[in-house]
A and B are shown apart, each in its own frame.
Chain A
Amino acid sequence: MGNRCAVIGIGQTRHAAKRDDLSIAGLVRDAALRALEDAGLTFKDIDAVVIGKAPDMFEGVMMPELYLADALGAVGKPMLRVHTAGSVGGSTAVVAAHLIQSGIHERVLTVAFEKQSESDAMWALSPKYPFQPPLVAGAGGFFAPIVRSYMRRSNAPLEVGMQVAVKDRLNALKNPNAHLHMADISMDKVKASPMLWDPIRYLETCPSSDGACAMVLASESAAKKAPHKPAWVRGTSVRTEPGMFAGRDQINPQAGRDCAKDLYAQAGITNPRKEIDVAEIYVPFSWFEPMWMENLGFAELDTGWKMVADGATSMTGDLPVNPSGGVLSTNPIGASGMIRFAEAAMQVRGQAGEHQIDGARMAIGHAYGGASQFFAMWCVSSEAG
């Protein structure tokens, strides 16, 4: 795994449906300055910048990283952009961590963003493919058949998706950065919300958000000089598979299982359910929580929904999932994965405020993208290991 790497600074913008008080450059700079402040640093202390966002069509700005170099203090320094669809926030942080673990840099700034209000991601995700009938209606339309398959294969009760939708929105009430603060959320309210992409209801989907997230990653010697407690990166993993092939398990993709296995091996984890204290995972549609519980090895095949039904994934359960409110409460797409990684680090640093899980020592951040075909994960701990 190379040299030790630590998270010494974390910054997030206030996430909202529309941040028209800030340009894209302003948005990423706001997150970056907050992360630098947390790390007790300025742009001049940074060796390299790694930036990520989802497809350019989401804002209609081609290669925005080129014009963001000055806003992120990257002039005269290495700057890389990472792109792995929805998992990009996660894989961007992984690339940044590798620059530290390889011994190349001492302090790397990593940033991810999306400004969904500036274009129409639903349109960008519903193109007319050559030689194909026009079918797919955004990400919800793409993932709805997979959710239906999971419900059938696992025989999960219909309420499970609604329970996740309520849990994450209640958690978001404790997170001042979250986009949605729905104090009146309830099972009845979710049930009464329109069925957009049957079997997915409106309140079982993520919002469209503007927002950015940034982290400062540091070598062991740089982390020792940091003003606040670091989160130590104990493992990173990225895996990929084709979006479609004969016999592909779309509910429980091999790439996700392999990614988790690799991550746990690096972190020395043999019993993830027992050894991991909190998980921030990428759940843009509520049913993906039970699906990923299985993919990540927290539950046996077709039983992930029992963890939800039993409350195991609530703030007071044995494996709290998304105490931040998750993607269901905040979704600046390109940043959503990095927010998972950052929230995991905040938990083991003890800086999560009202949504802190007491005594969290080991946490994972998870992101996925494309046709459930790109996975990025990391494991962070309060202990260097």
Chain B
Amino acid sequence: MLLFGPINFVDELLLKTGLGQQTINHFVWPFIQIGLVVTLVAGWVAYATYLERKISAFMQARLGPMRVGPWGLLQPIADGIKLLTKEDFVPEKADRWIFFFAPYIAVAAAFITFSVIPFGPDWAVITDVNIGLLFVLAVSSVGVLALILAGWSSNSKYSLLGALRSSAQMISYEVAMGLSLIGALMFARTLSLSGIIGAQESDAVWYFVYQPLGFLIFLVSGIAENNRAPFDLPEAESELVAGFHTEYSGFRWSLFFMAEYAAMVIVSAVATTVYLGGWYLPFVYRFTEAKGYHNLYVIVSLLVFLAKLSAILYFYFWLRWTLPRFRYDQLMDIGWKWLIPSALINITLSASAIFVVQALNGWHGLKTIDSLANGVDLTATGKAVMIVMGLLGVGIAGLLLARINWRSRDFNLKSQRRGIRLVNVPQGKPAVAVIAPAAAE
């Protein structure tokens, strides 16, 4: 019965302790939710590392962690104990206080963001701020500060280079990320994350259908924002040893590690919310809430959200273990020459698509434009037009940018590439070098 009824029993219990209804609503409940979310997220982050190790292992023809517990299931716990008991080493010439506090900034910035993520309807969201999306973008960009401080205070050249790279990278990709969301916001007409899901629910559509280009840009810049491969330049192992956290060890290092995984979960959560409909799945409402099973509805929606989020996480893992790493200048090229222009094109195209659809519904002169302020009310034809325009947008942006970037070196790689020649020199000839005519010039 617990699953199906409204979750009043906790309220009743709390009321018996003598607390007022106000205190419970604004003080006790948020704490319960925060405690739950922080515990779950921390545990989840730990198991995300386990999953990543397992997935990478299966991609690489090996087994991954197998020793601690069945199938190595207790490996994250063993890792945690190991990291906590390690020496907390501080380099002699490090700026001690900044060095101490940088990891806390990173982890705090990553975890605070979870307060506005709508994991499900009703009680599954801690707080629904009406500027939720802005809050996520703003707070998660505080994470850059932690990286810069960590890199600077370590007093190591590798850390400094890593920090410089990360600041340049995250700042420029934040622009693309923010711009890519605008297209979806034009449909949702709200910044509240729950509101965005609600808008998709009432339209019965996931916004990646209308916004394929925006979704792509968001995914790519999300990877870069999280410093994940192929954009993991701030911690490029083969060049900068470990980048900004080269000098960190033990617990402080594990905080950076947790912050990275938490940030990855957040980006996946935002992508899920804005483009994949969040916890909304058709028919769930009809079979649960409509029949009076409120808590079942919340729980099923929560699982739907987690499933979508995991799919995006898996995509990130997959990319990391498949692709080589970009170089620093190439990364900047992608950000400034491709992602930001195509995000701008996306905004323009989305706006004109909305205008066209509205005009198709009936042209009333300037009143049509005024009516846009009240939101887009899409008919079936309107939806079809929107989807076609969305797909066209990908093509248009691709073609336009290809034309602009035609002369750049990185675009014409295939034409610069040469094949190899096979030469069968006769055996035992005196050793005279045959210099290829092309190369001799």
A binds B: no
Which residues of chain B have a CB within 8 Å of any CB of chain A?
A: none
Which residues of chain A have a CB within 8 Å of any CB of chain B?
A: none
